[in-house]
Each structure stands twice: as C-alpha cells, then as structure tokens.
Amino acid sequence: MSQTPLPLPQHLPKPSGFGRTNRTDVWWLQPIIVFIGLSTFVVYSTWAAFQGENYFFDGGGASYLSPFYSPVIFGSEGHPWFGGKPEIWPAWLPFSPALLILWAPGGFRFTCYYYRGAYYKAFMSDPTNCSVGEPRSCYRGENSLPLVLQNIHRYFMYIAVLFIGILAYDAWLGMWFQDASGVEHFGIGVGTIVLSINVVLLGGYTFGCHALRHIIGGRFKELTKHKAHKKAYECVSCLNKKHMLFAWMSLIWVGFTDLYVRLCSTGVWTDWRIF
C-alpha cells in the first residue's frame, strides 16, 4: 500500500519567538532548577572522578567504596580487580579508576528518556518549556546525527543493570567490619545505610527504565501468553511511573554517597557505628 504523504497546511501562524509566551505561571522555574541541578551534579562528579584518591574508607574496619569508583578495575585503594595503575597508561593522561567506569552510568543517564526531555528544555531551550517560543527555527530532533545516537540507550541499560549488582555487593561488603585481629563481624554504620539507600534508589531508577520496560514485556502484543514477562513488565511499569522521582533522588544520593565516603576517608566526617 502506498503511503499518503503528509500535507503541509497553508497560512500557519508565525512562531512566537524566543521566550515569548502568554503563560502567566512561573514557567521558567522548572528549567532553571533542572539546569542548576544537572550542572551541579556534572561539575561535582567530574571533580570527584579526577581526584583518583579518597574513594575508599576502611577506618574502624569498615569497607565503604564510593559508587563513582565501583568497580575498581585498576587502582590504589579498595580492592582493585587487576592491581594498580596499568604500566601502559600514558604519563600525560591523568589516571583515575573512576574514568574507566563512569562512562557507563553517565551514558545511561545521558540517553535516558526522562533526562533527554529535561535537558533539551533546560540546556537547549528546545523548547524552554511547553508553549514557550524557541530560539532556533531549524530543528532536526532525534532523526539525524548527533541525537540519533540516543537510540543506544538500551545498551547502556544492560550495563547499568550489571552495575546495580556490583553496587549491591558493595553495600553488602559495607555491612562487614574487620576487628583488630582481622576477623570480620556483621555490623551497621551510617555509611552502610548510605550505601544501601544508594543501591535501592539506583535500582528504582534503573529497573524503571523505559527501554527495559519495552524489552521485558512491552514488545509483546499478547503479554498474557508470556507469564514471566508479564509479571516483570508490571513491576517495571510500576517503577516507571516514578521514573522522574527516582532519576532525581538517585542522582542526588549517588553524589552524596561519594561525598560521604570521601569526607570519611579524609577524616572530615566520622562514620558512626550503629551496632
């Protein structure tokens, strides 16, 4: 069947122009909050990633690893998989274990459907907010390069799911404290709670992903014929309804978790043992 080409109506009203709107509410507030929130996170996480130290706290027998550095593939602190900085690492290139892994959660968030909508508004004014005029007349959307690359989101999601497992293991390790004789005892410190909340919030965000929702069940027209997929689809859909909330809470908390471990590691904060 040949498709009817879409017609172009004649005499369309002229676009209103950048920032012009008859909205009477504080439409500019939301994009400003998003701009400040995301900018703050990007600046802090970049700074923290380049530090390359104080990402592991073992005071009082604890074992807290910053989520920005987990897993430690090569590094001097924590429990690196393959030892210290690799010999072949170029001398001119700054080294930090975080740089080897942060591209994955960073890419997951950058290509996330929620964040896309949020930063297109806050950073690109595309549009600044609903029914507010735009600065540009040219628009290509996610049809062509570079934004067509956003379609890679599901691959980042696969990696992000693996990271949830790793961070859950880190939270588990945070529940074991070594005494002076080297024997490990189960315990809970404030850091344990911080690491555990972090993995719960990141899990809520990752397992509510739109791409996961589609892959796990949304792609089936008759979902009732796939019982396990149906159950999983319902769980993901439930989290998906709160995707924006989890996106922000997990973003703030993952930054705070790094800060907590960093400040404990540098001795600024004391990690209180609850038991």
Partner 1 sequence: MAQVTFNIWRGEGNNGSFKEYTTEVSEGMVVLDAVHEIQIEQAPDLGVRWNCKAGKCGSCSAEINGMPKLMCMTRLSSLDLEKPVTVEPMKAFPLVKDLVTDVSWNYEAKMAIKPFKPRKPDAPDGTWRMAQEDVERAQEFRKCIECFLCQDVCHVLRDHHEHDKYIGPAMLVKAAAFEMHPLDVENRIPDLKNEHGIGFCNITKCCTKVCPEHITITDNAIIPLKESVVDEFYDPLTKLFRIFKSKK
Q: What residues contact 249, with CB distance under 8 A and at least 6 apart?
A: 201, 204, 205
Nearer to partner 1 by Cβ, of 109 and 213: the residue is: 213
Q: Which residues bind partner 1 (CB under 8 A)?
A: 1, 3-16, 21-25, 113-114, 116-117, 120-121, 126-127, 130-131, 133-134, 137, 139-144, 147-148, 151-154, 210-211, 213-215, 218-219, 221-224, 240-241, 243
Nearer to partner 1 by Cβ, of 7 and 182: the residue is: 7
Nearer to partner 1 by Cβ, of 178 and 237: the residue is: 237
Distance in angstroms (rounded) separating the CA atoms of residues 97 and 82: 11
- In the complex, the smallest distance separating the C-beta of residue 129 from partner 1, rounded to whole angstroms, is 8
Q: What backbone phi and psi angles, to 5 degrees, belong to 145?
A: -60, 145
- In the complex, the smallest distance separating the C-beta of residue 114 from partner 1, rounded to whole angstroms, is 8
Nearer to partner 1 by Cβ, of 36 and 152: the residue is: 152
In Å, how far from its chain's centre is CA 35?
16
Token readout for 262 is 């960093």
Neighbours of 268 (CB within 10 A): 10
E strands of 67-167, at which residues? none
- In the complex, the smallest distance separating the C-beta of residue 205 from partner 1, rounded to whole angstroms, is 15
- In the complex, the smallest distance separating the C-beta of residue 37 from partner 1, rounded to whole angstroms, is 17
Distance in angstroms (rounded) separating the CA atoms of residues 275 and 9: 71
Nearer to partner 1 by Cβ, of 104 and 263: the residue is: 104
| CA torsion angle 141 143 148 154 (round to 10) | 100
- In the complex, the smallest distance separating the C-beta of residue 19 from partner 1, rounded to whole angstroms, is 12
Is the separation of the CB atoms in 71 and 101 below 8 Å?
A: yes
- In the complex, the smallest distance separating the C-beta of residue 133 from partner 1, rounded to whole angstroms, is 7
Question: Is 38 in a helix, a strand, or coil?
Answer: helix
Nearer to partner 1 by Cβ, of 7 and 90: the residue is: 7
In Å, how far from its chain's centre is CA 91?
30
